[in-house]
Amino acid sequence: MPGSTTACDACAIRHRAVCGSLTRDEILQLNQIARHKHVSAGQTILTDHERPEYFANIIAGVVKLTKTLADGRQQIVGLQFPSDFIGRPFGSRSPYYAEAATDVTLCTFGKERFERLLMQHPGIEHRLFEHTLDELDAAQEWMLLLGRKSASEKVASFLLMIARRSRQVTCEANKDGLHFAKFDLPLTRADIGDYLGLTIETVSRQMTRLKSQGIIKLEGMRTVIVPELDHLAEAAEIDQS
């Protein structure tokens, strides 16, 4: 039935996710193979070097993608937010380890069935391609951060990125844009360190420095308030010594 409704119609991330600009037919087919799944914080979603069983869209929560060296040193190589897609198509094994950073709700697609759909519907593949290009852009931006920014710039950049992606932001939109932001950090200090290539201690010290400079305020350990996003943006590019 061309006009029939699907669970997708009510989906919170429908318009932003890969499902965003698909035809009615494509949505119906995707909906048929979709299964919702809850994963609690700390649980593994994909193990590296293993054939993944499913692909997924994130409906709620944050997922971290990590790589590890033989001696245990870890690096987060990607953070995935609601509407992001998880899984590497056309690869036999996942190049990274995916773990729920917070409690997560996924919309999963069985591997074989999804890859078959991909082959049949260039539209779905095209959306996924665009998403992958965005991920590549983000990865390259992060390479600049990891290779060339100081600890304080790294932490400021991280906070700025979270502020921008947490658009559930309590935002007082002022006359020209939004200057104020309040959000919860989806990561522990250890995770932030693994994302920025720093130690826990250095992350903590830089946070207190930003606090003492008045660029951020903290409510508890997880909630961050940014009175003036421009100040944070400045701190993200220019080292404040």
Which residues of the chain form contacts with its own copies (CB under 8 A)?
A: 65, 67, 69-71, 73-75, 77-78, 88-91, 95-96, 122, 125-126, 128-130, 132-133, 135-137, 139-144, 146-149, 194, 196-197, 237-238
Minimum CB distance to DNA smaller for 31 or for 199? 199
Evaluate whether 56 touches 86 at the Cβ level (below 8 Å): yes
Which of its own copies, DNA, none does residue 88 bind to, with CB < 5 to 8 Å depending on kind? its own copies
H-assigned helices in the chain: 24-33, 111-120, 122-148, 151-165, 189-196, 200-212, 229-237
Minimum Å distance from CB 32 to its own copies?
22
Evaluate whether 111 touches 52 at the Cβ level (below 8 Å): yes
Task: Spell out the residues 6+ positions from residue 234 whose beta carbon is closer than 8 angstroms to its own.
Answer: none
Which of its own copies, DNA, none does residue 189 bind to, with CB < 5 to 8 Å depending on kind? DNA
Minimum CB distance to DNA smaller for 36 or for 211? 211
Minimum Å distance from CB 140 to its own copies?
4
Which of its own copies, DNA, none does residue 20 bind to, with CB < 5 to 8 Å depending on kind? none
Which of DNA, its own copies, none does residue 214 bind to, with CB < 5 to 8 Å depending on kind? none
Distance CA 44, CA 59 (A): 17
Phi, psi dihedral angles at 235 (to 5 degrees):
-65, -20
Minimum CB distance to its own copies smaller for 138 or for 221? 138
Distance CA 64, CA 60 (A): 13
Residue with tokens 């095209």: 126
* 87 Ramachandran zone, left/alpha/beta (phi>0; psi -120 to 50): left
Q: Does 208 bind DNA (CB under 7 A)?
A: yes
Minimum CB distance to its own copies smaller for 143 or for 221? 143
Residue with tokens 């290009």: 133
Q: Does 218 bind DNA (CB under 7 A)?
A: yes
Binding mask 173-192 for DNA (x = CB under 7 A): ---------------xxx--
Helix and strand totals (H; E) in the chain: 7, 13
Minimum Å distance from CB 74 to DNA?
12
The identity of residue 102, as a single letter, is T
Task: State the residues that interact with DNA by CB under 7 A.
Answer: 150-152, 188-190, 197-205, 207-208, 218, 220-222, 241
